[in-house]
Amino acid sequence: MSVPASVDRALARIAQGADVPVACAAEGVGCQADVVVDAHYDGKPVCTVTLPWVVEGHAVLFADDSAVAEERLRSLASALAMPVCIVRRAA
């Protein structure tokens, strides 16, 4: 699946520390905060999850330097029915 260049640039800005709404506005892409979606297991919804941000259909999740947090986010990312961008930030 190809990501539009404007979305790619907005996600790159976010990964570099820019505020999500500011990065999206700069690139002219839409974003939504606190989006509730279903997490899936074996193709079936198992629970709802509130995502901090969704940028043009891409979930944006934030991870600290903890390996535990990283593993949990990867697990969550695999359960979502949408592309995921995990932004790593120093704790």
pLDDT at 90 over 70: no
pLDDT digits (tens, 9 = 90+) for 5-37: 999 999 999 999 999 999 999 999 999 999 999
How far is 6 from 9, CA to CA, in rounded Å? 5
Could you say which DSSP state residue 17 is in?
Answer: T
pLDDT for residue 62: 87
Whole-number CA gyration radius for the chain: 13
pTM metric for this prediction? 0.85
Number of domains in the chain: 1
Query: Which residue do the tokens 């961008």 mark?
Result: 85
Q: Nearest CA to 34 among 22, 49, 17, 47?
A: 49
User: Mean pLDDT throughout 56-74?
Assistant: 83
pLDDT for residue 1: 57
- Structural domain boundaries, residue 70: 5-88
